[in-house]
Amino acid sequence: MPPKANFTESVREPGETLEFAVALAREGGDFTLPFFYSEDLQVDRKADNSHVTEADRGAEMLMRERIEAQFPDDGIVGEEWGVKEGSSGRVWYLDPVDGTEAFVRGVPLYGTLVSMVRDGEDMADVGVIYAPAISQIVFASRGGGAWWSSQQGPFADSPAMPVDVRRAMVSTVSDPDEACLLTTHEEWWERTGRSPVLASLLGSFGIRRMWGHCYAPMLVATGRADVWVEPSAHDWDFAPATLIIEEAGGAATSVSGERTFRGKSLVISNGRLHARALAALEGF
């Protein structure tokens, strides 16, 4: 188990921005809890046929209002409410409910994602993944390390920063037969004609699970899984994960090996298994 640490003494700047990002993710995530597993949850379909709910829309609107009040010149890119242009050179990426399919089915492995990126950068300055239904959070600042906390019940009544904070560190597994690989959306691989690539990937590691979305990078960052491959998603999905994994000691690239959250695909690992994962994806 990663050691506990005194957050205020250990983490480096940008402290104010990171603390704001953590509080923002927690407030947005906790907003979704009354809707989770609700019998009268309103669920709609977006243009791409994916689900969206009143929880998604309301949580993102709340987070946008908080950003505009605290940092009025910052830009915002959100999954549900689009782009707000800014003039500060800083942009916030928001995904209020990552894993909406899980959310609408009453599965607690969904989360709220927050990151802040400077214009033109391929790595976020701060990133947060918060899973409100299981009360787990992992967060990082560039150069300041990655941290995580797990508490019973929502964080709403506690201070902005979790009290019980531990250093997040990737695993030391180097044997592929002992490694746990995570991926999501098996149907995506089939739909795009990449089932042979998926078969190659699955055959390259001893343990395979379809635990995906934001729960997967949370597991890799805390050493509970070793590799995650997400073949297709958006910048707001990948910006927090890439920073958190690197700050936890791992590696994060696109399928083609680019160190960026803008690559439209993502491979994260403990670093020791990264080359094997990329090799298994040849022909992607």
Per-residue pLDDT tens digits for 113-122:
999 999 989 9
Which of 73-77, 91-95, 151-155, 269-273 is the least confident region? 151-155
- Contact between 102 and 36 (Cβ < 8 Å): no
pLDDT for the residue 187: 87
pLDDT for the residue 267: 97
Q: Indicate the residue type of 219.
A: L
Whole-number Å distance between alpha carbons of 78 and 151: 27
How far is CA 121 from each of CA 86, 89, 125, 261, rounded to the nearest angstrom? 15, 10, 9, 9
Residue 54: exposure state from Cβ atoms within 10 A (0-12, 13-18, ≥19): middle
Whole-number Å distance between alpha carbons of 114 and 107: 21
Identify which has the larger pLDDT, 159 or 99: 99
Structure tokens at 3: 């050691």
Residue 58: exposure state from Cβ atoms within 10 A (0-12, 13-18, ≥19): middle
pLDDT at 139 over 60: yes
pLDDT for the residue 245: 98
Q: Say what percent of the chain tops pLDDT 70.
A: 89
Q: Indicate the residue type of 241.
A: A
pLDDT at 152 over 60: no
Whole-number Å distance between alpha carbons of 93 and 239: 8
244: nearest Cα among 75, 8, 9, 25: 25
Indicate the pTM of the whole model.
0.90
Neighbours of 141 (CB within 10 A): 26
Confidence label for 232 from pLDDT (cuts 50, 70 and 90): confident
pLDDT for the residue 181: 98
pLDDT at 153 over 70: no
Structure tokens at 221: 């960052």
Q: Average model confidence (pLDDT) for the chain?
A: 88
pLDDT for the residue 2: 39
Encode pLDDT of 2-52 as tens digits: 334 444 434 434 488 999 999 999 999 999 999 998 777 777 776 665 777
Counting Cα atoms < 13 Å in the Cβ hemisphere of 250 gives 35
Q: What DSSP designation does 4 have?
A: B
pLDDT for the residue 46: 64
- Contact between 111 and 99 (Cβ < 8 Å): yes
pLDDT for the residue 114: 98
Confidence label for 158 from pLDDT (cuts 50, 70 and 90): low
Identify which has the larger pLDDT, 139 or 11: 139
pLDDT at 100 over 90: no
Encode pLDDT of 169-219 as tens digits: 999 999 999 999 999 888 889 989 999 999 999 999 999 999 888 999 999
Could you give the domains of the chain? 7-167 (3.30.540.10), 176-280 (3.40.190.80)
Encode pLDDT of 251-267 as tens digits: 999 999 999 999 999 99
The rounded Cα 186 to chain-centroid distance in angstroms is 19
Confidence label for 244 from pLDDT (cuts 50, 70 and 90): very high
